[in-house]
Chain A
Amino acid sequence: MRLREVFRYELGYRLRSPSTWSYAAFLFLLMGWGLVATAGDSAAAVHVNSPEEVAQGTVLFGGLFGLLVSAALFGDAAIRDVAAGMDPFLYTTRLRKTEYLGGRFLAALAVNAIVVLAIPLGFWVATLTPLVEAEALGPNRLAAYLQPLLLFLLPNLVLVGAILFTIGSVARQVIPVYLGAAGIFIGYMVVADDWSRIESPMLSALADPLGINALQAMHRYWTPSELQIRLIGFPAMLVWNRVLWLAIAAGVLAVLHRRFRFTHADGGGRRRRRRRISRAAIDTLMEWRGPMDLPQAAAVFGLRTRVRQTLAVARQSLAEVMSGRAFPVAFAGAIGLILLWGWNAPDTAFDTPTWPVTRLVVSTVLAARSVLIPWLVIAVYAGELVWKDREVGAAEIADAAPVPTGIALLGRFLALVGIIVAFHAAFLAGGILLQILQGYYKFELGLYLRVLFGLNLVANVLLGALAMTVHVLVNQKYVGQILVLMACLLSLLAGMKGLPYLAVYNSGPGWTYSDMNGFGPFLGPYVWFKLYWAAWALLLLVIAVLFWVRGREPGVRRRIARARARLRGTTLRMAGVAAALILALGGFVFYNTKVLNEDPPRNEVGRPQAEYERRYGRFEDAPQPVLTAADLRLEVHPGEPAVDMRGGYRLVNRSGVSLDSVHVVLDRNVEVRSISLDRAARPAVVDEETGYRIFELERALEPGGSLRLSFDLAFRPRGFRSRGIQTAVVGNGTYFDRRWLPFIGYQPRFELSDDAARKRFGLGPQPRLPGPGDAEARRRDTSLRNEGRVQFEAIVGTAADQTAVVTGLLRRSWTENGRRYVHYGADGPVPFGPAVFSARYAVREDRWRDVELQIFHHPEHGYNVDRMLAGMKASLDYYTKVFGPYQFRQLRVVEIPPYSVNGRALVTTIVFGEQNFITRAGEGRVDHTFFGTAHEVAHSWWGGQVRGAHARGNDLLSEALSNYSAMMVTEKVLGPEQARRVYDFQMDRYLSKRAEFESDVPLLEVEEHPHIAYGKGAVALYTLREHLGEEVLNGVLRRFVEKHRAGGPPYPTSRDLLAELRAVTPGSMQYLLTDLFETITLWDVETRRAVAARTAGGRYEVTLDVVAKKLRADSVGRETETPMNDFVEIGVFAPGTGDGLGAPLYLKRHRVRSGKQTIRVTVPREPARAGVDPWRKLIDRDREDNMADVETGATAAPRS
């Protein structure tokens, strides 16, 4: 009866409370908005409301914010009695612990469960609104919404609620509850990493308290079609997991029940509304000896007083906050979090860690991953600062003191800034500690300070201003905190959703730090936007002053009246100043970003390209003269930044008909000072919007005739941009290619490629790239028209302290007029694609036979240069031996800032982003630098000497072969063990990325699927090598190079390579080519049982029960079984150390059929593990079941 009463009372109280419904509204809106924000990506393969997406969205996103709401609800349920002072009454009734705690907890749980319904509801309603594109939606199924709710959200609520309620009841304060919620979140993230390493699937399924990892693991290898329609259902393991954790929740509550006592809190810092119980102070009698003389202290009010009052308020507020028990815990927690989150931040490919350089720590760990901490700190502590006086009952005393409202606010704001600074100091400590623990000591304190106490501090202080204002306006602490968090989230996501930065508080362009170029071109725009928002922050603080609650009139109308009354004097002046600054700075920013530069709204992006196609697309195949030679003179001014380009093209008419016009396409960002032909011509079309020009010749150009196009162009960006900040020409680390130089004739590559955008502008879908069997396709090796192999000479000038590098061969370098000049050229005609680099480089030079090797790198990045050189030499060694000679006399590596590509191979030049220079490899571990270098060098053959036709499957000839070649070099130099690790990585890359793409294609037809080209390609070729033998495969490749080295149409396609491979593959293995290249084939092999019996001669006979299956998938992932009769390795291994396999006792290929089969082998020693495909070479989504532990027994009867 009493339990029911407690339950009903609490339920009624909470349901009547507006904050409960505001939490529900918050979650509802958050889900809806989250869905709308992420649904814009038209590349998504699955419907945004497929069961998988619904599950992920509600459980992860909703669960995360639901945690905050739970902290508020359960925390309030636990401490309200004590906070209100009602506990002495409650504890002295007949109420028992079970009834009290049980009733409160159940009611809080019920309310929270009702609020949690807002999560799937918000998701569902969002799908009904027109804000989500209809074609991104599938049918809404009730089960898709219900299952995650029942399986994850509600049980997690019980667990989380039990923990938070216990914390609240024991601590009797609210901040520990928030800390508990943060701890749950953080703890979960931390453990999530370890969780994936648990071998046993049962243990790993059970060990997951919130079930989220289990959910993600379930989805990991699903195909697009599965993700589209398959419901999660109620898998047995997950249900047991829920039962287990519900039991643990009950355990937590049992602990609470034991610990809880109906007693007055014994001096634990318990707050009372009117008096503090001071334990230690012994009351002394006020000695009164007749009339007293009160000290005469005159009060002075002037500017100095104001300053001191402000500082006093600040100091006092800060001390109050920092002296609470929660603060040091939160502080230490922040440091701990940095360590935990950042520990594996420096990992890149192949598990190869990079050095935890400060840049990496600062940008990924501190700026990106840990952004939640400052938000929480600001939201919670701003509330504390605004509410503290009222909560302890000191408000009326403080309000009646002669402290102007503005100073009361300013002092508190300064205290908040102090708290933010303190947490940034924690970040600094965490970052440095992280580096020390990983053995890296170049701390670059200057960089830390600039980022943490410069850029980030400014952003967080602005948020602090907003937080204080929100808390002042919204007269409810918990609701205020939630609103502040929403505002933080919004400001972060403004960028993603394309909202204008001038309209969303504290938003603005981000920054990328580069070791070479510092904050480069990003600092200016960032600072200007922050100044603009600082003006707004000033206005916000003025508003906070106006609405500051002083005294006892919290009603809305009264506050508005008071606000109006307060708008005088200094406050009015401040408001005026703020408004003026907003207009001035806003105007300046607007002028720069919208007037001097283009920043079209989201749905206008792409219009120029659309117009280009619409107006001039018909000229696509019009005959035009071909570019055969170019001479260029480029003046690079890194400091401005600007590039002046002058030069000329030699155009030859190879079309066979006479030409009466020359079409020229120029980049729209380029200023055209002059462009002309060397004969009479009329500029018939000068279209500035699209950059298209048509010169009509007075006299037609006969076949075989040539003419010269001269041009004088400039790339001189003006002002600054907020989006698409140009990073090509920067202070140190300039890198640009030929895109600013003129193109001859209509170029299809500049058309709009985004399907959604094309539809918006009324263009049909782009025609697909032709297939590898298409004869037409062989005529071209690129989409570029009217350019073949080009002879070029380029003179590039740059600042005196920088070195310019151009793809090609260096002719000479000199200094002139205080600038450095270089002259590069190409000996024979090469594809015309000069890339220009300019930076303050250090150069390392070496030789390999008669090839000059150079590495142009940032002087500080020298520690991997040796490894790169080793890679270059080893690659040249192997490739020259196997594929044929390297066709140039120079090979260089140039380092660029991390703004554009990570690695690219150009003519004679390999471009590497900074990241590659800071990898760190342990002894004998796979080295990304080495592998990457080998891969790029391989491109000189695959893509350089051999140019594939511009058709689907082209990447097989360039990327897959380069990856395979790099794997071969790795094997030769670092050993087969390392090559195996690379193989595993490529396999995982292929399998795990399959789900992200709309369609799946066979290797032969690969087109823009990196995971197939790089991942599956490497796997396929390596597998082929295993079966055919290295000699045979390499022989095919060598002949392929010889055949196509000369170039010129017809260009080879993937089918040509396949044909060559077929020619050398024995009949029994032809199936491999079909499986690996022509189809999408997956295997599924499993060893059900492995039994060993000792034979008479002391040997062991091992019997394996193997089940095998081969599946063919179509482009959307539907699978059908196909008969299998393939060569698969069978292996038996001796006991090994740890989890690894021991020495192989038996390793041979057997024929494995579809279905069940028994395989018997004999081994000389006692085996430990045995099975099929031990080295996981088959493309199998579940490779854990390939091997089984061997059971040793007497003769084991084979089971079928």
Chain B
Amino acid sequence: MELRIRNVSKTYAKSVHALKDVTLTIPRGMFGLLGRNGAGKSTLMRILATLQQPDEGSVHLGDIDVIREKEKVRQTLGYLPQSFGFHPRVSAERLLEHFAVLKGIVEPGVRRDAVESLLRRTNLWEVRRQRVGTFSGGMRQRLGVAVALLGNPKLIVVDEPTAGLDPEERVRFLNLLSEIGEASAVILSTHIVADVEELCNRLAIIDRGEILLEAEPARAIEQLRSRIWRRTVSRHELPALERELPVISTKLLAGRTIAHVYAEASPGAGFEPVEPDMKDVYFSVMAGHHGRRRRADAEMAS
């Protein structure tokens, strides 16, 4: 089942364009949506999760029209929002059971098994009787994952899930997601480049409501080969450098500033080529040297 998003636009009041003409195709597997805060990721996630209506455009999950047939979508949907909470005085087990019923797992035996397996998977089995109000941030996150995964959904929408997880939890979480991604379509929105880099089959970069790039990670990186140059400068030289050349990122390392520059060819002395990574892709796209320009080219061609 693939998810087809076509020309979706959404404008909030006061003419804030949250999404502008977004078109994406998301097959089975992990799809990463990368962008900074306020880019429109959460809005898109909510539309996919049937919690918001786009002003224009269509979304189809296989044959199901997501916008008009919300009920059908929800039957096979798992959503983990960016910020969420639970009724504090209920136990994890009771909550999960409650959601299991709501998600259609009515058979008591089946339900109990599903709940147990999910709690074990998310390492919450030991604390299943404790009230959710006593959970730490990571435990709450894991419970959210458990709820989202109830009922083996075919479409899983995950909005900025790893912010706030410690490194171990993050790794485990991402592994879990990629396992699931083998059987379902998982859409992961994040601003942490590393999440997308390691796991996703496809990714898209979004900024100010527009899709700037849609590609496979490897290919995106490949396209930048020998276009990213590095130079070490001092703090005072930096402003001059920025005026002359397209600096896409800077980093402080032991008192010296390392600048990455996008250029078709070596910009000059002191620059050395680097193996581009996802971060470079991201910064290039955001700076406008990549992606958007590519789309503009494609339009001119057609």
A92 near B238 with CB under 8 A, answer no
Q: How far is the CB of A540 from the nearest CB of chain B, in Å?
A: 30
B99 near A93 with CB under 8 A, answer yes
Does A290 reach chain B (CB closer than 8 Å)?
Answer: yes
Binds B, one of A188-196, A279-287, A925-933: A279-287
Q: How far is the CB of B30 from the nearest CB of chain A, in Å?
A: 20
Does B46 reach chain A (CB closer than 8 Å)?
Answer: yes
Tell me the complex Cα distance, A430–B235, Å.
66
* Contacts known (A1-B101, A290-B235); A92 close to B12, Cβ less than 8 A: no
B102 near A90 with CB under 8 A, answer yes
List chain A residues, Cβ under 8 A from B106. 1
Closest to B159 in A: A88
Q: How far is the CB of A802 from the nearest CB of chain B, in Å?
A: 70
List chain B residues, Cβ under 8 A from A93. 74, 99, 102-104
Tell me the complex Cα distance, A86–B140, Å.
12
List chain B residues, Cβ under 8 A from A5. 98, 101-102
Tell me the complex Cα distance, A1169–B74, Å.
68
B71 near A91 with CB under 8 A, answer no
* Contacts known (A264-B46, A280-B16); A13 close to B257, Cβ less than 8 A: no
B257 near A290 with CB under 8 A, answer yes
Q: How far is the CB of A285 from the nearest CB of chain B, in Å?
A: 8
Does A89 reach chain B (CB closer than 8 Å)?
Answer: yes
Residue of B37, B53, B102, B242 with most partner-chain A CB within 10 A: B102
* Contacts known (A86-B84, A279-B13, A290-B235); A94 close to B74, Cβ less than 8 A: yes
What are 25 A-B pairs at a CB distance below 8 A? A2-B101, A5-B102, A13-B90, A17-B89, A81-B87, A84-B88, A85-B83, A85-B84, A88-B79, A88-B84, A89-B84, A92-B77, A94-B75, A262-B50, A262-B51, A262-B70, A264-B51, A264-B52, A267-B12, A280-B14, A280-B16, A282-B208, A283-B36, A289-B239, A289-B242
B50 near A92 with CB under 8 A, answer yes
Closest to A81 in B: B87
| Cβ < 8 Å to B, chain A residues 36-75 | none
Does A569 reach chain B (CB closer than 8 Å)?
Answer: no
| Cβ < 8 Å to B, chain A residues 220-238 | none
Known contacts A84-B86, A281-B38, A290-B238; 6 additional CB pairs below 8 A are: A9-B98, A92-B74, A93-B103, A273-B83, A282-B38, A283-B37
Tell me the complex Cα distance, A13–B87, Å.
9
B79 near A289 with CB under 8 A, answer no
Does A272 reach chain B (CB closer than 8 Å)?
Answer: yes
B79 near A89 with CB under 8 A, answer yes
List chain A residues, Cβ under 8 A from B130. none
Tell me the complex Cα distance, A23–B74, Å.
38
Tell me the complex Cα distance, A273–B75, Å.
28
Tell me the complex Cα distance, A1–B111, Å.
14
List chain A residues, Cβ under 8 A from B36. 283, 285
Q: How far is the CB of A647 from the nearest CB of chain B, in Å?
A: 79
Does A266 reach chain B (CB closer than 8 Å)?
Answer: yes
List chain B residues, Cβ under 8 A from A282. 16, 38, 208
Of A84, A264, A283, A289, which contacts B85 at CB under 8 A?
Answer: A84
Interface size of A by Cβ–Cβ distance < 8 Å? 42
Residue of A13, A16, A92 with most partner-chain B CB within 10 A: A92
Does B171 reach chain A (CB closer than 8 Å)?
Answer: no
Does A274 reach chain B (CB closer than 8 Å)?
Answer: yes
Closest to B249 in A: A288
Tell me the complex Cα distance, A200–B104, Å.
54
Tell me the complex Cα distance, A6–B97, Å.
11
Which are the 6 A-B pairs with shortest beta-carbon distances? A283-B38, A85-B85, A93-B102, A88-B81, A5-B101, A264-B51
Closest to A80 in B: B87
List chain A residues, Cβ under 8 A from B78. 92
B79 near A92 with CB under 8 A, answer yes
* Contacts known (A16-B89, A274-B83, A283-B37); A92 close to B49, Cβ less than 8 A: yes
Tell me the complex Cα distance, A1176–B184, Å.
85
B38 near A263 with CB under 8 A, answer no
Does B250 reach chain A (CB closer than 8 Å)?
Answer: yes
Contact string against B for A residues 673-689, beta-carbon threshold 8 Å, 1 for contact and 0 otherwise: 00000000000000000
| Cβ < 8 Å to A, chain B residues 2-59 | 12-14, 16, 36-39, 42, 46, 49-53
List chain A residues, Cβ under 8 A from B215. none
Does B252 reach chain A (CB closer than 8 Å)?
Answer: yes
Does A291 reach chain B (CB closer than 8 Å)?
Answer: yes
Tell me the complex Cα distance, A288–B77, Å.
40
Does A390 reach chain B (CB closer than 8 Å)?
Answer: no
Closest to A277 in B: B42
B87 near A86 with CB under 8 A, answer yes
Contact string against B for A residues 82-114, beta-carbon threshold 8 Å, 1 for contact and 0 otherwise: 001110111111111000000000000000000
| Chain B interface residues toward A at CB < 8 A | 12-14, 16, 36-39, 42, 46, 49-53, 70-71, 74-75, 77-79, 81-90, 94, 98-99, 101-104, 106, 144, 147-148, 208, 235, 238-239, 242, 250, 252, 257
Tell me the complex Cα distance, A121–B94, Å.
33
Of B12, B46, B81, B87, which contacts A84 at CB under 8 A?
Answer: B87
Does A275 reach chain B (CB closer than 8 Å)?
Answer: yes
Tell me the complex Cα distance, A857–B138, Å.
81
A94 near B85 with CB under 8 A, answer no
List chain B residues, Cβ under 8 A from A92. 49-51, 74, 77-79
List chain A residues, Cβ under 8 A from B37. 283
A94 near B89 with CB under 8 A, answer no
Of B12, B52, B102, which contacts A95 at CB under 8 A?
Answer: B102
Contact string against B for A residues 176-215, beta-carbon threshold 8 Å, 1 for contact and 0 otherwise: 0000000000000000000000000000000000000000
Of B12, B49, B235, which contacts A88 at CB under 8 A?
Answer: B49
* Contacts known (A89-B79, A279-B13); A96 close to B71, Cβ less than 8 A: yes
B53 near A263 with CB under 8 A, answer yes
Q: How far is the CB of A1051 from the nearest CB of chain B, in Å?
A: 79
List chain B residues, Cβ under 8 A from A281. 38
Of A13, A272, A279, which contacts B16 at CB under 8 A?
Answer: A279
Tell me the complex Cα distance, A5–B37, Å.
38
Of A13, A263, A274, A285, which contacts B89 at CB under 8 A?
Answer: A13
* Contacts known (A279-B14, A282-B16); A263 close to B87, Cβ less than 8 A: no
List chain A residues, Cβ under 8 A from B46. 264
Q: How far is the CB of A988 from the nearest CB of chain B, in Å?
A: 57
List chain A residues, Cβ under 8 A from B88. 84
List chain B residues, Cβ under 8 A from A274. 83
Q: How far is the CB of A578 from the nearest CB of chain B, in Å?
A: 36
List chain B residues, Cβ under 8 A from A88. 49, 51, 79, 81, 84
List chain B residues, Cβ under 8 A from A80. 87
Residue of A80, A89, A264, A289 with most partner-chain B CB within 10 A: A89
B102 near A94 with CB under 8 A, answer yes
Q: How far is the CB of B71 from the nearest CB of chain A, in Å?
A: 7
Residue of A273, A282, A288, A290 with most partner-chain B CB within 10 A: A290
Tell me the complex Cα distance, A411–B124, Å.
43
A2 near B51 with CB under 8 A, answer no
B235 near A291 with CB under 8 A, answer yes
Tell me the complex Cα distance, A91–B13, Å.
23
Of B53, B89, B99, which contacts A89 at CB under 8 A?
Answer: B99
Closest to A284 in B: B38
List chain A residues, Cβ under 8 A from B239. 289
Tell me the complex Cα distance, A689–B87, Å.
68
List chain A residues, Cβ under 8 A from B84. 85-86, 88-89
| Cβ < 8 Å to B, chain A residues 878-935 | none
Closest to A88 in B: B81
Closest to B236 in A: A290
List chain A residues, Cβ under 8 A from B70. 262
List chain B residues, Cβ under 8 A from A13. 87, 89-90
List chain A residues, Cβ under 8 A from B79. 88-89, 92
Q: How far is the CB of A79 from the nearest CB of chain B, in Å?
A: 12
List chain B residues, Cβ under 8 A from A267. 12-13
List chain A residues, Cβ under 8 A from B99. 89, 93
Tell me the complex Cα distance, A281–B12, Å.
11
List chain A residues, Cβ under 8 A from B85. 84-86, 273
